[in-house]
Amino acid sequence: METETETVKSRQRTLYNILSLLTVTVWGITFISTKVLISSGLTPTWIFIIRFTIAYLCILTISHRQLWANSRADELCMAAMGLTGGSLYFIAENTALRFTYASNVSLIICAAPVLTMLLDAIVYKDRIRFKAIFGSVLALCGVTIVILNGSMNLGLSPKGDFLTLLAALFWAAYCSLLKRMSRRYSNLLITRKVFFYGCLSVLILCFFEPLPDLTEPDRLSVVIFNLLFLGVIASFVCYIIWNNAVRILGPEKTANYIYFTPLITILASAAILSEPVTIWTIAGGLAIVGGVYMTSK
């Protein structure tokens, strides 16, 4: 018979499975939002710095009591998280969107859960369960079906795709570091540190990037809307949820929700850009849902 504590933990896990899905839903839409900003004249560096500055100012209002980590080693680990889960990840991903399709980026980013499992096995000596491997492969097959969409012509760009794979590796490293730090620090402090060190690490690049031309009123309103969406919703709110989910569900199970990203990106493109949704999208979506369900049990 289930104890009261086990029931609470079960409900908590269910809640964070749902919240993880909502988070990647938002992140799936960010590909389109970032594409809009790039087409409006913003560089990947400016998109990142403005996005994370907005997010940092938001979280600073509710998390400002503890300034530093408890040790120098932990502070360095926080800085590494700001790099891997912040500046390096987003600049690599946003730059990749210049050279390859958003759908290609969303597919390759799905290597992150597999990389997370491998890193945890190496760093934390975690045992990789067969069900987790099978679920990951099934979800990845679903992602492939969605992206291929019945065609073998992906229009691959080696430069863009390599940058995306690099971004996936950075995100896997972030999730692995987060597993260690979440045992000793609050979610809010960790998230604030990630935003801070992410911004700090790219400030020097701003001196070499051209300022965006936002003199047209119509363009300015579009840019402001998308930057607020990326900064407040996709970064501030979603990072808090994601970091909590990693603590409750573990990095492997949480990372597998990334498999939903390409499906959401395609559905959002259909709604916003009037692109068709085919039977391949539906079939791939079912495989994604099945794979994520297996890894979350």
Distance from C-alpha of 91 to C-alpha of 76, rounded to nearest angstrom: 21
User: How much is the pLDDT for 233?
Assistant: 95
* Count of C-beta atoms within a 10 Å radius of residue 36: 16
User: How much is the pLDDT for 85?
Assistant: 92
* Short-list 229, 247, 146, 272, CA closest to 191: 247
Dihedral pair phi/psi, residue 144, rounded to 5°: -60, -40
**Residue 54 near residue 236, CB atoms below 8 Å:** yes
Structure tokens at 229: 């969406």
* Count of C-beta atoms within a 10 Å radius of residue 284: 24
Burial of 202 (0-12, 13-18, 19+ CB in 10 A): buried
Average pLDDT per run of 10 along the chain, which is 297 residues long?
70 89 90 86 88 92 88 94 93 85 73 76 75 78 71 61 86 87 88 92 81 72 93 92 86 78 78 72 76 69
User: How much is the pLDDT for 1?
Assistant: 47
**Residue 195 near residue 35, CB atoms below 8 Å:** no
Distance from C-alpha of 111 to C-alpha of 114, rounded to nearest angstrom: 6
| Whole-prediction pTM | 0.76
In the chain, what are the helix, strand and coil shares in percent, each to the nearest 5?
80, 0, 20
**Residue 45 near residue 202, CB atoms below 8 Å:** yes
Q: Is 101 helix (H, G, I), strand (E, B) or coil?
A: coil
Distance from C-alpha of 127 to C-alpha of 120, rounded to nearest angstrom: 9
User: How much is the pLDDT for 234?
Assistant: 93
User: How much is the pLDDT for 236?
Assistant: 92
